[in-house]
Structure 1
Amino acid sequence: MVDVGKRGPAPKPTSLRILHGDRNDRINDTEPVPPTQDIACPDWASDAAQSIWDRLAPGLIERGVLTAWDVDAFLVVCEALARYKSATQLVNGSALLVQGGSGLMKNPALQVQAEAERTFLQFAARFGLTPSDRQGIKTEVADGATGGAERLLS
């Protein structure tokens, strides 16, 4: 059997089900909850990934999107973006076609760039790092922060 992945819209988070007064049989009261603890970039991250982490993680942590359980997956996002940046710099500094063993061939940095882009986009979607993915994530808004309709109507 081939696993085709989940279909349909992402399920509503349990906290929203409770807020909206969903029926008790539709609320997962045994949903695992990540522990509240300091979230830090793993020490084995590359310098480039650490820089990306430092830029993106604070906002995700503040919104509750990045938790202690998500550190490794988010590091994949940061490493993929770092590889993409490095490959893009290589491509921009050289030709699209390079001399290979049997003549001209596509620059190998293009393949690295494309793989890093696919990895980034696949994992970035889980954290709402693209506009279309972000609209599907619901988070608590901190006091004083405006979001959604309040922001649009002000």
Structure 2
Amino acid sequence: MTHPEARAFWDRYVPVLIEQGIATATDAPRLQMMAEAWALLRIATKALNKNPINKDTRIAYAEYSRQFAAAASEFGMTPVARSRIVIEKQAKPKIKGRSRD
């Protein structure tokens, strides 16, 4: 990750998502994209606060906001998205038709 805001987002939220069983190592690319979208959204927010009538800034803010919201929703980071997440316990591996103890 290239931006400190992205790294801070990753360090704060990814361990929680993994601990809760929502994210796994295979989700790393999408999690990284979400962290980068967060960083870009923060940058766009600051620019928008400085110049709220700039069209390009408003477009960038809307796009980064959309990207972040879509990714965050996939990982249950909104109340509605959390209500839709079902985490199933992983079954124990079977060996020759039996459960492994």
**Structure 2-normalised TM-score?**
0.79
Cα deviation for residue 45 of structure 1 reads: 4.1
Cα deviation for residue 138 of structure 1 reads: 2.0
In structure 2, relative to structure 1, the CA distance for the partners of 1:95 and 1:138 (3 Å cut) is closer
Confirm or deny that 1:84 pairs with 2:41. Answer: yes
CA contact (8 A) 2:52 2:58 kept: no
Cα deviation for residue 140 of structure 1 reads: 6.4
Q: Give the share of equivalent positions with the same residue, in percent.
A: 35
Q: Distance in 2 between matches of 1:120 and 1:94?
A: 22
Q: Among 38, 62, 71, which residue is 2:19 paired with?
A: 62
Cα deviation for residue 96 of structure 1 reads: 1.3
In structure 2, relative to structure 1, the CA distance for the partners of 1:45 and 1:71 (3 Å cut) is farther
Whichever residue aligns with residue 129 of structure 1, its letter is M
Q: Among 123, 128, 138, which residue is 2:86 paired with?
A: 138
Q: Among 8, 11, 14, which residue is 1:51 paired with?
A: 8
Cα deviation for residue 62 of structure 1 reads: 0.4
CA contact (8 A) 1:84 1:113 kept: yes
Structure 2 residue runs without a partner (length 5+) = 90-101
CA contact (8 A) 1:53 1:75 kept: yes
In structure 2, relative to structure 1, the CA distance for the partners of 1:45 and 1:68 (3 Å cut) is farther
Cα deviation for residue 124 of structure 1 reads: 1.2
RMSD over aligned Cα atoms: 1.7
Aligned counterpart, 1:128: 76
Q: Among 61, 79, 99, which residue is 1:113 paired with?
A: 61
Larger radius of gyration: 1
Q: Distance in 1 between matches of 2:3 and 2:29?
A: 13
Higher-helix-fraction structure:
2
Q: Deviations over 1:32-52 (max 9, x none)?
A: xxxxxxxxxxxx442220111
Structure 1 residue runs without a partner (length 5+) = 1-43, 98-105, 142-154
